[in-house]
Amino acid sequence: MTRGLPMPEPTAVICGATAGVGRASAEAFARAGYRVALIARGEQGLSDTQAQLEALGARVLAIAADVADAPALEAAATRVEAELGPIDVWVNAAMATVFGPFSALTPEEIRRVTEVTYLGSVHGTLTALRHMRPRNRGTIVQVGSALSYRAIPLQSAYCGAKFAIRGFIDSLRCELIHDRSGIRLSMVQLPAHNTPQFDWARNKVGWRAQPVPPIHTPEVAARAVLRAAREAPRELWVGTASLKAIIGTLFMPGLLDRMLARQAWDGQLIPEREPEGRPDNLFEPVEGLHATEGRFGDQAKPRAIALSAASVGKLALGAGALLALGAGWALGRRGR
């Protein structure tokens, strides 16, 4: 590299970039000086998000593609590298869900949630690796959820997809370590956020849906995704609710089953009827609702703790050591 020349701006690709966590993350990368490629289905959402980021001074490329369509993602990545430059960060944030008991879901609905939420992340990762491997560098960030550890009622298809993503990422991480690859993987496990998904996800319950409190602003997630891109922790656990859900299910899963059976069903619903005939985005994008935030702004918290899984492990070991020392001290006193 010639001394004195400015470093080129890094390039980040955001899948699911036009609403909620994806859109907030795209803005965070733009503010951090990245060139940003936006991938989503809806043309209006892409146009609005592109204008928002360009107003910040960012160089932006918007591409309409469905993450369930692997060839479309590959074509999009080829355009990104040709028009923005080598892909440094790839963020898988696209998702789809259906609210309803499993008995009310159809095979087509379950397949579509799986194709978008799970296979969309697999397709994105495959595409990112094909472009990153020749350079042996780059970071892939998977937007996960506490629901990838602790499933809840009324979202069986979505929880299944999130569990599958975590297993896939863990397996791939082992392969990259085996190959001594310089490509980094990170998964961000999120709590509830105030996003538009609760107004455009398919709802088969009949009552309006809400995230399980505590609820956070999408910017909380965006800061975590940007941190994951920079530091690449194995996992980043965001919010006390995520910590409780993940740790709790490791030690007392049966108790949580019973607690969530009582609390999480009604906790996801509000006493308002879902409007009949409301469009949903399961198979087609819903124009007009592409925004960063949803309708729960008065409840959304702007801050949350974010700890790497490694840090949580060290804290747990430290706490265990202190308990052991305390027990030893107490036994020693009793012996004397």
Flag whether 3 is in a domain. Answer: no
Residue 334 lies in a domain: no
Q: Is residue 2 part of a domain?
A: no
Which residues, other chains included, contact 72 with Cβ-Cβ below 8 Å and sequence gap of 6+? Answer: 65, 66
Instruction: Read off the pLDDT of each residue in 206-212 and give the average, rounded to a whole number.
Output: 93
CB-CB contact of 205 with 274 (8 Å):
yes
> 189 lies in a domain?
yes
Question: Does a structural domain hold residue 4?
Answer: no
pLDDT at residue 218 is higher than 80: yes
pLDDT at position 320: 44
Phi/psi for 35 (5° steps) reads -80, 135
For the cut 90, the answer to whether the pLDDT of residue 311 exceeds it is no
Q: Does 330 map to a domain? A: no
Contact 257, 264 (CB under 8 A): no
Mean pLDDT of 233-251: 95
Residue 331 forms part of a structural domain = no
Question: How far apart (Å, rounded) are the C-alpha atoms in residues 141 and 185?
Answer: 6
Q: What's the pLDDT tens digit per position in 268-283?
A: 999 999 998 899 999 9
* pLDDT above 50 (res 285): yes
Q: Is residue 128 part of a domain?
A: yes
User: How many CA atoms are closer than 13 Å to the CA of 66, on its beta-carbon side?
Assistant: 12
- The overall average pLDDT reported for the chain is 92
Cα angle, residue 242 at apex, residues 241 and 246 outer, rounded to 5°? 120
Contact 205, 154 (CB under 8 A): yes
Residues noted as catalytic: 158
Confidence of residue 313 (pLDDT cuts 50, 70, 90): low
Are 56 and 24 contacting, i.e. CB atoms less than 8 angstroms apart?
no
Contact predicate 161/96, CB 8 Å? no
Q: Which one, of 29, 82, 15, lies nearest residue 57 by Cα?
A: 29
- 317 pLDDT above the threshold of 90: no
Higher pLDDT, 31 or 323: 31
For 22, the domain range is: 11-322
Burial of 282 (0-12, 13-18, 19+ CB in 10 A): middle
Domain count of the chain? Answer: 1
Helical pair 20-31 and 43-54, crossing angle rounded to 10 deg: 30
pLDDT tens across 19-41, in order?
999 999 999 999 999 999 999 99
Burial of 144 (0-12, 13-18, 19+ CB in 10 A): buried
CA distance 70 to 68: 6
The CATH number of residue 40's host domain is 3.40.50.720
